[in-house]
Amino acid sequence: MLPIRESFILAGILFTLGVIGVLARRNLVFILMSIEVMLNAAGLAFVVAGAQWRQPDGQVVFLFILAMAAAELSVGLALVLELYRQYKTLDTDVLSRMRG
């Protein structure tokens, strides 16, 4: 039996690390990696919760998350490659064009 409390704290820490990564890193590749960390933190929470209440749903959702993360990562990396080819940089502050 997984201790639920500690597992949630771990998931929280992982998620926070992911958030900090997204916010603090300027390189797109690292941002993508941080997003993966956040996704996995959420997945962990699901699995733990599923085990706690003896429901298969938690693991089912985790499988969804995995699939989605893979899809997202492949699209994301493709975009990153394309961006790098055009701008020769992956610094988000340089790439930002949203300033109105």
Partner 1 sequence: MLDLLWLVPAIPFASAFVLAVFGPRMRSKAVAVLGAGAIAVPAVLMLLIAAAFVSAPPAGGAYTQVLWTWIGVGSFRPAIAFYLDALSLVMVVVVTFVSFLIHVYSTEFMRGDEGYSRFFAYMNLFVASMVTLLLADNLLLLYLGWEGVGLCSYLLIGFWYQDPVNGLAGRKAFIVTRVGDTAMAVGLFLLFHSLGTLRIQDLLHTASDQWQIGSPYAVAAAALLLGGAVGKSAQLPLQTWLPDAMAGPTPTSALIHAATMVTAGVYLIARTHGLYELAPQVQLAVAVTGAATLLMAGCSALTQNDIKRVLAYSTISQIGYMFFALGVGAWGAAIFHFMTHAFFKALLFLAAGVVIEALHHEHNIFRMGGLRKELPAAFWTFLIGGCALAGLPLITAGYYSKDLILWSAANSTAGTAGLWVAGIAGVVLTSLYTFRLIFVVFFGQPATPVSHRPGPAMMIPAFVLAFLSITAGFATTPFAAFMAKALPELHEGGMGMSEVINSTVAGLAFLAGLLVAWYAYLSNPALGRAAATSRVGRVLHRFWFSDWGMDWFYDRLFVWPVVWSAKANKADIVDSIYTGLTRLAALCHRYFSLTETGRLRWYAAWIAGGSAFAVAIAMFL
Confirm or reject binding of residue 93 to partner 1 (CB under 8 A): yes
Which residue do the tokens 């699901």 mark? 46
Confirm or reject binding of residue 97 to partner 1 (CB under 8 A): yes
Q: Write the binding mask 13 to 52 for partner 1: x where contact by CB under 8 A, - elsewhere.
A: ------x--xxx-x--------------------------
Residue 92 CB, nearest approach to partner 1 (Å): 6
- The whole-angstrom separation of Cα 83 and Cα 29 is 11
Q: For residue 82, give Cα distances in angstroms to 2, 27, 74, 79.
A: 43, 14, 12, 5
Using the minimum distance from each CB to partner 1, give the nearer residue, 26 or 57: 26
Exposure letters 67-87 (e unless 16+ CB within 10 A, then b):
eebeeebeebeeebeeeeeee
Residue 56 CB, nearest approach to partner 1 (Å): 27
Size of the site for partner 1 (CB under 8 A): 12
